Structure 1
Amino acid sequence: MERPNIIFWNVDTQVDFMEPDGKLYVQGAEEIRPLLGEITRFAGEHNLRVVNTADYHLVNSAELSSHPDFVNTFPPHCMAESKGAMYIPETDPERPIIIDWNQELILDSRFDNPERFRNILIRKDAFDVFAGNPYTEKVLDIIQPDRVFVYGVTTNVCVDQAVTGLAERGKEVFVFSDAIKELPNIPLPFEKWKKLGVTMIPFSDVEKYMG
């Protein structure tokens, strides 16, 4: 059988979420940083394409509020051009092609060259990368992955939206169970993922699913 087209999908591993002094720090996020570095190195060593998503907000973004409920709205975080919107060193993508949510962009088949564009950076203005960037669908249509390995933060918000969106679009989705972290007070999505056919594995098992 032909090897499936495999990509990694790095969700929002940005300073404001991952650093204890970040604007919307995810409790315990620093615990997964060494593993995130391993995942990034593994992808590079195996020449795997990585789609990196990033919150990238303006002051009028719908999810930002001065009186947040921490479910649908949150304090200002990952503001455009700020340090908090940057990736932590462990996941900082090398020479990415940047797909902004608020700038007109023409994508064509040349973009499908993984040698030139191994890292893709999709900036978004919503929890859901498909709703928060009008080009996400086009990116997926061009690179045509069969199997997607997802990791990052947060499990029950942006990771959930990415996993659900990918599964609903017919992709075979795996989540690295030891490379995600959740926010409190929001239900965990594991039962929903199971119903969607999503498989959770530790990163140490990844090579078993590469073929």
Structure 2
Amino acid sequence: MYDTDGHELCLIDSGIKSLLNVPIRPNLQVINLHSNFIQRIENLQNVYQLKHLDLSSNQLTYIEGLEGLASLRTLNLSCNFLSDVRGLAGLRSLVKLNLSHNQIEDVSGFKSLHGSDYRLTHLELHGNKLVSRKHVIQCLSGCVNLRQLTLDVDSTPNPLCNHSEYRQEILKGLPQIQSLDNVDRDGISSEKKEVLADIPGKSWLYGKGMNIMNYRVYQ
């Protein structure tokens, strides 16, 4: 289902097994394919204007096929089967990344986002299998614009969070972080700043009285 301008595509819970079966238009800015059966990220090589991509609750095992998405601002790959974060290189405009509830053990891929040219500020990693605090600090230390990090939210921690000095070590090793697990450095609950306010699809998805959750396309 496209919006009236053809800039947004939303096919939630539509039985889709492959992105090759999805009609991807070059002028798309928003793609929401939450809750399908997609196993590979592909067929996105010509969507140069894409700003927001949601492939959460699919069957992805690798991050791939994102190299040409220079305009991408938000990426949601939560609730998949990812074990590492390789495949993010080149996403200089990315502001928010949700990788929660995967099987991630290795975050070395974040080294490809080091430097002031990369805009990543919000990162969600809770509900994974990260064990080493030192590894996380080494891999995220060069993400100089990172401000909000979640490793333990809603009782879904990583193993590294079970250490008594977890919070102190992460905040010391990542001085750029302002909020860890939605709590700021002063121990005060920090409200999540909405970085998705510019998504063109918000009014379309929720303001036109359509039940998109029940819209299905069978391939």
Q: Do they fold alike, i.e. is TM over 0.5?
A: no
Instruction: Look at both structures and tell me which one has the larger radius of gyration over its CA atoms.
Output: 2
Name whichever structure is richer in strand by fraction. 1
Q: Which structure is higher in helix share?
A: 1
Tell me the TM-score normalised to structure 2 length: 0.34
- Normalization by structure 1: what TM-score? 0.35
Q: Which has the higher contact order (CA 8 A, sep 6+)?
A: 1
